[in-house]
Structure 1
C-alpha cells in the first residue's frame, strides 16, 4: 500500500508556497496525495505559463499561495491573489494562467 501523503514532511509546520519552486518558462507540479477520492497537488506557474482549458471529474478547489493567477471557468475570468480561493466545478471547462508568477494548492474531490 502506498503512503497516503508523499513529497511533504509530516509532523512539521510548513509554509506551502516554500514547498515548490518557480522554474523559468514552466508549470511545475508536486503531488502531495492521490487516491480515488481526492488529489492534493502544489503548482507553480511562471508568468505567462498556463494549463489550457479542460474539465475535471471532480470539484477542484484552488487556493492561491503566492502571486496572481487567472482562473477561467465557463469562459468567465477570475483573478486570485495570495490567500484567495475558488472552486472550479466538476465537468465545467476551466483553465489556469500565471498572470504573474503564481503558486497554488489544488485539491480535487471526486
Structure 2
C-alpha cells in the first residue's frame, strides 16, 4: 500500500445563495462520490429554507445554537449535538438570537440509492 496525500483547494467562506437561504455562509470542505462535507456559518436570524434532499444529511452543531425541523417536528440544536435529516423528508435549519456554526455531512449515496443497485 502506498500512502497517497492529495492537495485540496483551500476552502473559503461564500454566501449560500439558494432561494430562501438568508444570512448563511458556506465553506465546502470535501466532495467525493458518496460523501460531501461543508461548514455552514449562521448569523443571527439566519435560515436555510425547508426542502427535502435525495440523501441522508447529518448536521453537527459546532458552536452556538439554533433550531431544526424535519416535517412537522422541530427542536433546538446546541453546540455538541447532532441531528439526522432522513432522505426525502422536508427539513430546515435556522437561528434567532444566536449565531451558529455547523458541519454538514451529506451521505450522497444513501441506503435508498444503494438498494436500487
The equivalent residue for 1:101 is 99
What is the alpha-carbon distance in structure 1 between the residues aligned to residue 74 and residue 90 of structure 2? 12
Please name the residue that 1:86 is paired with.
83
Count of aligned pairs: 94
Match of 1:55 in 2: 52
Residue pairs, 1:9-88, within 5 angstroms: 26-88=23-85
**Cα displacement (A) at 1:35:** 2.4
Counterpart of 2:18? Answer: none
TM norm structure 2? 0.72
SS class of match (2:53): coil
RMSD over aligned CA atoms reads 2.0
> Which ranges in structure 2 are unaligned for 5 or more consecutive residues?
1-5, 14-21, 109-117
Instruction: State the alpha-carbon separation in 2 of the partners of residues 6 and 59 from structure 1.
Output: 25
Q: Say whether the 8 Å CA contact 2:58–2:83 is kept in structure 1.
A: yes
